[in-house]
Structure 1
Amino acid sequence: LWWGQRIPAWYDKDGKYVVAENEADAKKSFTQKYGVDDPQLTQDEDVLDTWFSSWLWPMEVFKGITRPDNDEINYYYPGSVLVTGQDIIFFWVARMIMAGMEYKNEVPFKDVYFTGMVRDKLGRKMSKSLGNSPDLLQLIDKYGVDAVRFGIMISAPAGNDLLFDDLSPEQGRNFNNKLWNALKLVKMWEHKLNQPGNEEDEGSGQDSFQAMDVSGFSGTVALEENGEVSAQASKNDFAVNWFSNRLAEAKVELEKLYGDFKLSEALKTIYSLIWDDFCSWYLEWVKPVYGLSIEPSIYRHTVSFFSELMHLLHPFTPFITEEIYHLLDERNGDLTIKQYEAVAPPQEQILAAGSLLKEVITGLRDTRVRSKLKNKDEIKLYIITETPGLYTSVYHILSKQINANAIAFNTEALGHNTSVVIGKDKFFLETAAPVDNSEQKDGLLKELKHLEDFLLSVDKKLSNERFMQSAQPDVVALEQKKKNDAETKLRVVRESLGDL
């Protein structure tokens, strides 16, 4: 990049001049114009600053130079953020600051966001000579404009160069397909719900769940389908409450990321929120049994959540989000002008309960796979835990996700087919189907070795006098907690191995 261009005027000693691209052309023109053979010419020493008008851009777009103190310049100057490339810091950014201080006695912007250089996957700067510059129009035709935007933004961390691959937009296309499939699922629920007789049937989508007959098992507490717990669980209130708080948590995180100009990280946060939390967990938790309609209240919450997610994603993929937003419900306005609402802090207790539920579902599904149990094989689930209250609001979700026809709590070991340790809790699976525990045993042995090594390292630290004397009390307490937790898990793992 050139900061300036030397003026192409050529003079003789008497001040006569011609304008030409180079000295040879200047001599030829001078001879033709003045009749002087082989003239001795000198080029003008002054330089035309090609960026001069750009100095005044923050002000003159509002006529701040030609009409000082007009309403627009007083309202818009100074701005807040300038987005530009780091290769023109000297040519443009620094000069705008100089001009702003000269004419307005104030810098024209508070922050400058430097975009990275787009390079190919080998780290080379894109150029026509290398032939490594992609045709964006072809990429848009192949993947869609939103997918191309997504592919660029998610791989462009603030301040770093972007290594662009022609396959980068493919992730964006897959994500857009995920959004569209989620919309199709929700619209299918809407169609079923709008059929005659389903509009006010709040419990129509609740799957049947039988309380386990636990007579004869000492200390067993069954989850029964009556009273307040059943009414709450039948409406999937926990799923709604959890995702509402997960959405609030993400909004708090996004507000900080945007404040720090971490746009790529913000997109990754939204991507995970939609793909993992909304599609993989929430929609699965509230999905009605095949052939039945979803509860109207759950449907309304789902549409509201989906709409909020499209609002969060809109700056990155504006076209598909606007389309889905209007297909979800009748709207009076567009996403592009919709204001963001104030962010409220999430309830950590609900988030922790959701994390526990996901961990338990994942662990029990993995146990089914390791035990060679098919998805259609029903099980009875026994849970040994010191905190049974954590499961009372989620047992319908848990039973549906792992295909258990009954759940109960127990203080003693039962006759069972296989077991698994998740956190501090122990889970027994009972089924009439054949079970292969070989993989389960291998997994428990690996977990046992890991816990024994971990406990050894913690004990070593706690037995170190220097550490105990110099460490802060809260650090020592944390290490002691690690030891207690590891000992509890170790005991449960050993019991599980003994049961196998």
Structure 2
Amino acid sequence: FSNVYLTGLVRDKQGRKMSKSLGNSPEPLGLIEKFGADGVRVGLLLSASAGNDILFDEELCNQGKGFSNKIWNAFKLIKGWEVADIAQPESSKVAIEWYEAKLQQTLAEIEDNFDKYRLSDALMAIYKLVWDDFCSWFLEMIKPGYQQPIDRATFEKAIEMLENNLKLLHPFMPFLTEEIWQHITERTPEQALIVSEWPKAKAFDTKLIADFDFATEVISGIRTIRKDKNIPFKDAMELKVVNNEKASTYFDSVIQKLGNITTLEYVSDKVDGALSYRVKSNEYFIPITGNIDVEAEIAKLTEELNYIKGFLRSVQGKLSNEKFVAGAPEQVIANERKKEADALAKIATLEQSLASLK
């Protein structure tokens, strides 16, 4: 043999070998009835690192069931859209380019894991691709407005990306993926998913993926401000950017769509009277509208600033203690220095926000 794969034992979550006398071996048909066959497969495979024993926990099967529901709901969302022959939005165009690159990056990771017989790692890579990248980001980027149709070019690409996802998932979740595959369009037995062609590996743009990761942090900052200030998503906002990072503007249309930003403007100076946040060295400003109580906001920021300053004093007290520095492990010291740096950056941002409000 050129390759030998040794499987571990399936144990209970306390690490005990399963046996009838202990009564700790689950009934497979009962699990399938409760979580679905694919849910049980995913639950077992997620916990099956190469060659190691599996610590079986029903909660992992429940996670598999949740993943199955997520995939099915994504399919229903796409098929529920009305399609029209209209122009493709810029945000959808760049979303498709990004997801194609992300899928190729994940495909390369999966192939590497398969070569090393790391089936659990391969499944986790697909899990993250489908749950995080496809459902949480891609579908949100291309989703049409309320009661609005989607353009045909984007819809066809969404179906293509869904089908590629199903191909990657099929070895792990054969039943659900084949069912969805047959629902997408009418197919002959020769066109079944199980005999379809595996996606071809292609070159992909790593910078495009990195630029999108930066854009997601910008969007997260907008969402945080909306949440903290109780600003509904339906209320459009402006966004002004001091682009110290010289960050790519390629995903600006996506930032505007997912943040409900009317205008995104690049400026050279800080904006007075605006809420602000940072992503790396970039500064982002959202001008205040009548939705925000300025006095209440000043009080809230002042309270947070005082708390962070107290936290900083505590960290700096540790770092100034020679005995602590001399005796603590290097990793602990590094963590404390990171806390100090993060606190200083947070204080600078809060003081800047307060200055702009006063």
TM-score band, normalised by shorter chain: 0.7 to 0.9
The code of the aligned residue for 1:165 comes to D
Residue aligning to 1:371 = 229
Q: Which has the higher contact order (CA 8 A, sep 6+)?
A: 2
User: In the alignment, which residue of structure 1 is the partner of 2:141?
Assistant: 285
Q: 1:406 aligns with which of 231, 240, 263?
A: 263
Measured against aligned partners, the alpha-carbon deviations of 1:456-494 in whole angstroms (never above 9, x if no partner) come to: x9xxxxxxxxxxxxxxxxxxxxxxxxxxx9999987675
Q: 1:362 to 1:139 in 2, by over 3 A?
A: same
Match of residue 175 from structure 1: 67
**8 Å Cα contact 1:384/1:426 also seen in 2:** yes
Q: 1:421 touches 1:427 (CA, 8 Å); kept in 2?
A: yes
1:302 has 2:158 as partner: yes
- Measured in 1, the distance between the counterparts of 2:222 and 2:132 equals 18
State the match for 1:314 in structure 2. Answer: 170
Secondary structure at the counterpart of residue 291 of structure 1: coil
Question: d(CA) in 1 for partners of 2:136 and 2:271?
Answer: 33
From 418, 422, 428, give the equivalent of 2:275: 418
Equivalents in 1 of 2:124, 2:233: separation in Å?
32
Aligned pairs, how many? 327
Of the structure 1 ranges 426-435 and 308-317, higher mean CA displacement relative to structure 2 is found in 426-435
2-side partners of 1:440 and 1:421: how far apart?
15
- Whichever residue aligns with residue 325 of structure 1, its letter is W
Query: Are residues 291 and 132 of structure 1, via their aligned partners in 2, closer, same or farther at CA, if it must alter by over 3 Å?
Result: same
Tell me which protein shows more helix as a share of its residues. 2
Say if 1:385 and 1:425, in contact at 8 Å, map to a contact too.
Answer: yes
Counterpart of 2:216 in structure 1 is 358
Distance of 1:417 and 1:283 partners within structure 2: 31
Matched, 1:165 2:50: no
TM-score by length of 2: 0.82
Q: Deviations over 1:413-433 (max 9, x none)?
A: 334341111111111112221
| Map of 2:97 onto structure 1 | 241
> Which has the greater radius of gyration?
1
Deviations 1:129-169 (A, max 9, x none): 11111000111111111111111111111121111122321
CA distance in 2, matches of 1:273, 1:120: 29
Contact kept in structure 1, 2:274 and 2:356, CA below 8 Å? no
Structure 1: 5+ residue stretches without partners: 1-108, 207-232, 458-484
Distance in structure 2 (CA, Å) of the matches to 1:408 and 1:241: 24
Give yes or no for contact 2:170–2:178 (8 Å, CA) kept in 1. yes
Structure 1 residues 304, 270: closer, same or farther in 2, change over 3 A? same
Give per-residue Cα distances to partners, 1:75-94, cap 9 Å, x unaligned: xxxxxxxxxxxxxxxxxxxx
Measured in 1, the distance between the counterparts of 2:256 and 2:17 equals 54
Deviation at 1:357, TM superposition (A): 1.1
Is 1:257 the equivalent of 2:113? Answer: yes
| 1:383 is the counterpart of 2:241 | yes
Give distance in 2, aligned partners of 1:343 and 1:443. Answer: 49
- The verdict on how the C-alpha distance between 1:342 and 1:486 changes in structure 2, with shifts beyond 3 A counting, is farther
Structure 2 residue matching 1:433: 3-state secondary structure: coil
Q: 1:394 aligns with which of 251, 276, 283?
A: 251
The alpha-carbon deviation at position 324 of structure 1 amounts to 1.2
The normalised TM-score by structure 1 is 0.60
Aligned to 1:37: none
Distance 2:352 2:171 in 1: 53
Structure-1 separation of matches of 2:306 and 2:121: 38
Counterpart of 2:114, as a letter, is: Y
Query: 1:491–1:305: structure 2 CA closer, same or farther, 3 Å change rule?
Result: same
Gaps of 5+ in 2: 320-341
RMSD over aligned Cα atoms: 2.9
CA distance in 2, matches of 1:146, 1:330: 23
Q: Distance in 1 between matches of 2:251 and 2:210?
A: 13
Contact 1:115 1:158 in 2 (8 A): yes
Q: Does the 8 Å CA contact 1:424/1:489 hold for their aligned counterparts?
A: no
CA distance in 1, matches of 2:229, 2:281: 21
Aligned to 2:248, the other structure's residue is in SS state helix
For 1:210, the equivalent position in structure 2 comes to: none
For residues 85-121 of structure 1, the C-alpha deviation after alignment (integer angstroms, 9 at most, x for no partner) is: xxxxxxxxxxxxxxxxxxxxxxxx2111111110111
For residue 337 of structure 1, what is the amino acid of its counterpart? V
* Residue number in structure 1 paired with 2:3: 111
The answer to whether the 8 Å contact 2:305/2:350 transfers is yes
Report if the CA contact (8 A) 1:416-1:428 is conserved: no
Q: Is the 8 A contact 2:276 2:349 kept in 1?
A: no
CA distance in 2, matches of 1:422, 1:345: 29
Find 1:427's aligned residue among 272, 281, 284: 284
Aligned to 2:37: 145
Cα distance in 2 between the residues matched to 1:341 and 1:125: 39
3-state secondary structure, aligned to 2:58: coil
User: Please, which of 5, 8, 14 is the counterpart of residue 122 of structure 1?
Assistant: 14
Aligned amino acid, residue 333 of structure 1: Q
Which residue identity lines up with residue 111 of structure 2 in the other structure?
E
Equivalence for 1:499: 356
Identity, % of aligned positions = 35
In 2, Cα distance between equivalents of 1:441 and 1:264: 47
